[in-house]
Amino acid sequence: MKNIILGIMLLLVTLSTQAQEKKNKNAKHNIEVNGNCEICKKRIEQAAFSVKGVKSADWNIEDHVLHLIINEEKCSIQDVKKAIAKVGHDTDDIKSTDEDYQNLHGCCKYERK
């Protein structure tokens, strides 16, 4: 009888662990972020690092791609995009408000789509 109860408990534990979504602690993401210059680079990277769980953030001026490494147990890619939009930079699917965009320095005002 003990063996049956032990077996059932083991089965339940196994099923519950498989049901949990496995989050990646070193997930790599590349997202498009609009900007123009070194000031934009600094602002975008600081916004990304302001999100708990971002391990690496490097924005490329030429291709406007932000290369990220995040801990998905602590944050999501959407959290990072929202933080970047809050400082005035549009991402591929989250746009900054007109007010946040207008607060950018003159050289940082990119052509909005």
- Mean pLDDT per block of 10 residues along the chain (113 residues) reads 68 59 87 97 98 98 97 96 98 96 94 86
Tell me, yes or no, whether 72 lies in a domain.
Answer: yes
Domain count, the chain: 1
Tell me, yes or no, whether 68 lies in a domain.
Answer: yes
Tell me, yes or no, whether 77 lies in a domain.
Answer: yes
CATH of the domain at 51: 3.30.70.100
Give 49's contacts (C-beta < 8 A, 6+ positions apart).
57
CA angle 69, 70, 71 (to 5 degrees): 140
Tell me, yes or no, whether 16 lies in a domain.
Answer: no
Dump pLDDT digits (tens) for 43-58: 999 999 999 999 999 9
Tell me, yes or no, whether 18 lies in a domain.
Answer: no
Range of the domain at 78: 23-108
pTM: 0.80
Tell me, yes or no, whether 62 lies in a domain.
Answer: yes
Q: What is the mean pLDDT of the chain?
A: 90
